[in-house]
Amino acid sequence: DAKTTQPPSMDCAEGRAANLPCNHSTISGNEYVYWYRQIHSQGPQYIIHGLKNNETNEMASLIITEDRKSSTLILPHATLRDTAVYYCIVRVAPNYGQNFVFGPGTRLSVLP
Amino acid sequence: GAVVSQHPSWVICKSGTSVKIECRSLDFQATTMFWYRQFPKQSLMLMATSNEGSKATYEQGVEKDKFLINHASLTLSTLTVTSAHPEDSSFYICSASLRSRGLAGVKWNEQFFGPGTRLTVL
């Protein structure tokens, strides 16, 4: 699986959009970009994933650059409950029998 | 979405004892489950892949005789930490993949993670 690079930490004001970047310059054509988050002392929670088109769901939007070498997770209106570590993972997917490889992620702090 | 549960959510035990952690997929069947370990302020590290009806596959550096994995059914995998020591204190997390059938055939969906089990060995 291709490796990803994320800033170790970010702050965001409550109610504002949180934009979390991820670099994956060595991504292969068949690898997807996944985003998970982990709130303190809980298991990781799936947020969104995409291949090359931008994706949106009830939690967030995923913007993938045209060359697919980077992406941005957008939380449109961050709340205090969005404070968590956010993991950007690239992998061949969907792949039932393959685990996820977690990097250090970005620790997002939403400030009141 | 699919739900994965773990039991217990936390456990404290004495050094030298064994502890069993259960991972259940509540509303779907999971042929494959994964066990991760997470130390404070670190990321998740894969310990082993648990396959229903066969032996688990362990990652390099993980002692299979110390971390016993049993995946006896399509909804249950167990991790037993044998002869636990303080250095085994950690947050243990399992995950399972949901397989569903879409219009184009079988579709593999994202993995769902359990809430984790915090083990403290005194």
For A77-89, how does the pLDDT look when each residue is reduced to its tens digit (9 = 90+)? 999 999 999 999 9
Q: Is A41 on the interface with B (CB under 8 A)?
A: yes
The CA–CA distances, whole Å, from A64 to A16, A95, B33, B104, B109 equal: 21, 21, 29, 25, 20
Contact state of A46 with B112 under an 8 Å Cβ cutoff: yes
User: What is the per-residue pLDDT for B105?
Assistant: 47
Residue bearing the bigger pLDDT, B14 or B74:
B14
Bridge-based pairing state of the strands B76-81 and B67-73: antiparallel
DSSP B122: -
* Interface check A96 vs B, CB under 8 A: yes
Quote the mean pLDDT of chain A. 91
pLDDT at A101: 85
Binned at pLDDT 50, 70 and 90, residue A99 comes out as confident
Closest alpha carbon within chain B to A86: B43
Q: Which residues contact A23 (CB under 8 A, 6 or more apart)?
A: A4, A5, A6, A69, A70
Cβ of B113 within 8 Å of Cβ of A44? The answer is: yes
A96 and B108 within 8 Å at the Cβ level: the answer is: yes
Report the sign of the C-alpha dihedral through residues A72, B99, A93, A68, in that order: negative
- DSSP letters along chain A, please? ----B--SEEEEETTS-EEEEEE-TT--TTEEEEEEEE-TTS--EEEEEESSS-EE-SS-EEEE-TTSSEEEEEETT--GGG-EEEEEEEEE-S-TT--------EEEEEE-
Contacts of B111 in chain A (CB under 8 A): 46, 99-100
Residue A97's pLDDT band, with cuts at 50, 70 and 90, is low
Sort out which chain A residues have CB atoms less than 8 A from B97's CB and list them. Answer: 96-97
Of A101 and B18, the one with more pLDDT = B18
Reading the block at residue A29, the tokens are 């054509």
* Cβ distance of B115 and A42 shorter than 8 Å: yes
% of chain B with per-residue pLDDT over 90: 65
pLDDT, residue A1, reads 56
Query: Contact A44/B44, CB-based, under 8 Å?
Result: yes
* B contacts of A95 (beta carbons < 8 Å): 108
pLDDT tens across A31-67, in order? 889 999 999 989 999 899 999 999 999 999 999 999 9
Residue A87: what are its φ and ψ, rounded to 5°? -110, 130
| Tokens encoding B27 | 């509303």
- Give the mean pLDDT of B60-74: 92
Q: Do A43 and B118 touch (CB under 8 A)?
A: no
Instruction: Provide the pLDDT for residue B17.
Output: 97
Mean pLDDT over each residue of chain B, to the nearest integer: 88
Smallest Cα distance from B18 to chain A, Å: 23
Q: Which of B21, B74, B113, B120 to mutate to test the interface with A (most CBs of A within 10 A)?
A: B113
Chain A residues touching residue B32 (CB < 8 angstroms): 96-97
Cβ–Cβ contact A8 with B under 8 A: no
Instruction: Give the model confidence (pLDDT) of B77-121 as tens digits.
Output: 999 999 999 999 999 999 987 665 545 544 455 678 999 999 999
